[in-house]
C-alpha cells in the first residue's frame, strides 16, 4: 500500500541521509517512476524532502541523517500523518509504521501528529455510486478536526432543506471518493455528506471529542444503519458469471454471490423495496432470471407490460 511506502521512504531517508529514486525502488521493490512519485508526493505535502541534482545527488531529508525526524516541524508532521493516516484503518502494516513514526517524533507535537492520523479514514467498499472528485472543503474540515475547533456549517439535506448549525468535527471518511463528516451536535452524533456543505467556517471555539470515540467504530455503526435501510428487500437471481462484476458495480455491497456453476452464477441482490430492485433489473431484460421473491417478479411483469403497451406499435 502507498501509505506504507511513504512511511518506509521517510524512515529510510532518516537512516541514510540521502537516497536516489533507483536505490529507493530497489529497496521497496517498486519501479523507479513509482519511487520518484512517492518522493515528490512527500515534498508536495510539505515534508522537508528535497532533490539534489547532479552527480552524487539524490533526495535528502532536511536536517540530515539520524535526526529522529526532528527536522520535521509540527505542521510538516501533521501533513505527513494526513497523507498516511487514512490507510491505517485498512492496513495493519500502515498502522504499525505510524506507531513507530510517532515514537520517533519530538514529544512537543506528538499529540498533533496523532490527531492528524485519526482525522480521516478510508472505506473502500462501494455503495454503488459513481466516482466523484474530492471536495475542496475536505482540507478545511481536516484542519478543524486536528485543531479541535467548532465549525459553522451551511448544509443542504437530501430533501434539499437548507440549515445552519454549529458542529464539533470528530472525523472524516472517504467512502469510494464520497466524503462524510462525523460530528457532534446538540442532538448527538450526526453524519454530513461533505459535497452538500454549501459553506463551512472554522471558529476559534474549542470542540470536544468524547474520550472513547474511535472513528472506525463510529463509521461501522453508521454503515450498519444505512445498510439496514438500503437492503430491506432481497432478490435471488441467476446471471452469466461474466456479468457479475457489472452487477457488483451497480449494487455495491448489496450484491452477494451464492454459488457459481457452468458459467452461471446465483446472486443475491438487496434494495429498499421490491420496486427498487425491479427498476434496476428491468434493463437487463432476459439476461437475468429472478428466482424470488414473487413481489420482484410481479413488479418486473408490470414494468414489462407498461413498456409493451407504450411501445408495441
**pLDDT, average across residues 2-21:** 73
| Rounded Cα gap, residues 95 and 82, in angstroms | 13
Q: What is the reported pTM?
A: 0.49
Which of the pair, 150 or 42, is modelled with greater confidence? 150
Number of folded domains that form the chain: 3
Pairing between strand 178-185 and 197-206? unpaired
What pLDDT band is residue 200 in, cutting at 50, 70 and 90? very high
Q: Evaluate whether residue 265 is within a structural domain.
A: yes
* 123 inside domain: no
Last residue of a domain, one of 168, 195, 217: 217
The mean pLDDT value of the chain amounts to: 80
Full residue range of the structural domain in which residue 162 is found: 137-217
Is there a single domain that holds both residue 236 and residue 208? Answer: no
Same domain, 23 and 102: yes
Helix (H, G, I), strand (E, B) or coil at 212: coil
Among the three residues 217, 249, 274, which one is the final residue of a domain in this structure?
217
What would the pLDDT profile of 92-134 be if each residue is shown by its tens digit? 555 555 555 665 565 655 666 666 656 655 565 655 555 456 6
Residue 226, in any domain of the structure: no
- Spell out the residues 6+ positions from residue 72 whose beta carbon is closer than 8 angstroms to its own: 47, 48, 80, 105, 106
pLDDT, tens digit (0-9, with 9 covering 90-100), for 282-310: 999 999 999 999 999 999 999 999 999 99
Do residues 213 and 240 both lie within one domain? no
pLDDT value at 45 more than 80? no
Amino acid 90: pLDDT: 46
99 and 178 share a domain?
no
Domain end call among 117, 149, 173: 117
**Is position 129 within any domain?**
no
- Residue 135's pLDDT is 76
**Who wins on pLDDT, 102 or 175?**
175
| Structure confidence at residue 113 (pLDDT) | 62
- In a domain, residue 122? The reply is no
Domain containing residue 189: CATH number: 2.30.30.520
95 and 191, same structural domain?
no
Work out the number of other CB atoms within 10 angstroms of the CB of residue 16.
16
- Per-residue confidence (pLDDT) for residue 66, from 0 to 100: 42
Buried b or exposed e, range 170-191, using 16+ CB within 10 angstroms: bbbbbbbebbbbbbbeeeebbb
70 and 97 share a domain?
yes
Pick the range with the lowest mean pLDDT from 28-37, 140-149, 221-230: 221-230
Residue 166 in domain: yes
pLDDT of 312 reads 82
Whether residue 59 is contained in a domain is answered as yes
Amino acid at each position: 500500500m502507498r501509505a506504507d511506502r511513504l512511511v518506509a521512504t521517510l524512515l529510510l531517508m532518516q537512516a541514510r541521509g540521502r537516497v536516489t529514486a533507483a536505490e529507493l525502488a530497489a529497496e521497496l521493490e517498486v519501479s523507479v517512476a513509482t519511487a520518484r512519485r512517492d518522493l515528490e508526493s512527500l515534498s508536495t505535502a510539505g515534508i522537508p524532502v528535497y532533490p539534489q541534482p547532479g552527480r552524487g545527488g539524490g533526495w535528502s531529508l532536511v536536517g540530515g541523517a539520524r535526526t529522529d525526524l526532528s527536522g520535521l516541524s509540527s505542521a510538516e508532521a501533521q501533513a505527513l500523518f494526513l497523507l498516511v493516516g487514512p490507510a491505517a484503518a485498512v492496513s495493519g502494516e500502515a498502522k504499525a509504521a505510524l506507531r513507530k513514526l510517532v515514537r520517533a517524533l519530538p514529544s512537543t507535537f506528538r499529540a498533533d501528529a496523532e490527531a492528524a492520523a485519526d482525522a480521516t479514514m478510508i472505506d473502500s467498499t462501494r455503495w454503488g455510486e459513481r466516482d466523484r472528485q474530492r471536495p475542496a472543503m475536505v482540507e478545511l474540515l481536516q484542519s478543524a478536526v486536528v485543531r479541535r475547533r467548532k465549525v459553522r456549517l451551511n448544509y443542504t439535506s437530501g430533501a434539499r432543506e437548507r440549515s445552519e448549525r454549529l458542529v464539533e468535527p470528530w472525523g472524516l471518511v472517504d467512502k469510494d471518493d464520497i466524503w462524510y463528516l462525523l460530528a457532534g451536535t446538540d442532538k448527538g452524533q450526526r453524519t454530513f455528506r461533505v459535497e452538500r456543505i454549501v459553506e463551512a467556517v472554522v471558529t476559534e471555539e474549542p470542540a470536544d471529542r468524547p474520550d472513547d470515540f474511535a472513528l472506525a467504530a463510529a463509521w461501522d455503526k453508521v454503515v450498519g444503519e444505512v445498510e439496514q435501510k438500503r437492503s430491506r428487500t432481497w432478490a435471488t437471481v441467476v446471471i452469466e458469471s461474466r456479468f457479475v462484476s457489472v452487477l457488483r458495480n451497480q449494487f455495491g455491497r448489496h450484491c452477494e454471490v451464492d454459488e457459481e456453476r457452468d458459467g452461471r452464477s446465483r446472486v443475491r441482490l438487496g434494495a429498499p423495496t421490491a420496486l427498487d430492485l425491479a427498476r434496476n433489473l428491468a434493463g437487463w431484460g432476459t439476461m437475468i432470471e429472478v428466482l424470488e421473491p414473487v413481489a420482484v417478479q410481479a413488479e418486473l411483469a408490470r414494468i414489462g407490460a407498461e413498456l409493451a403497451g407504450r411501445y408495441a406499435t
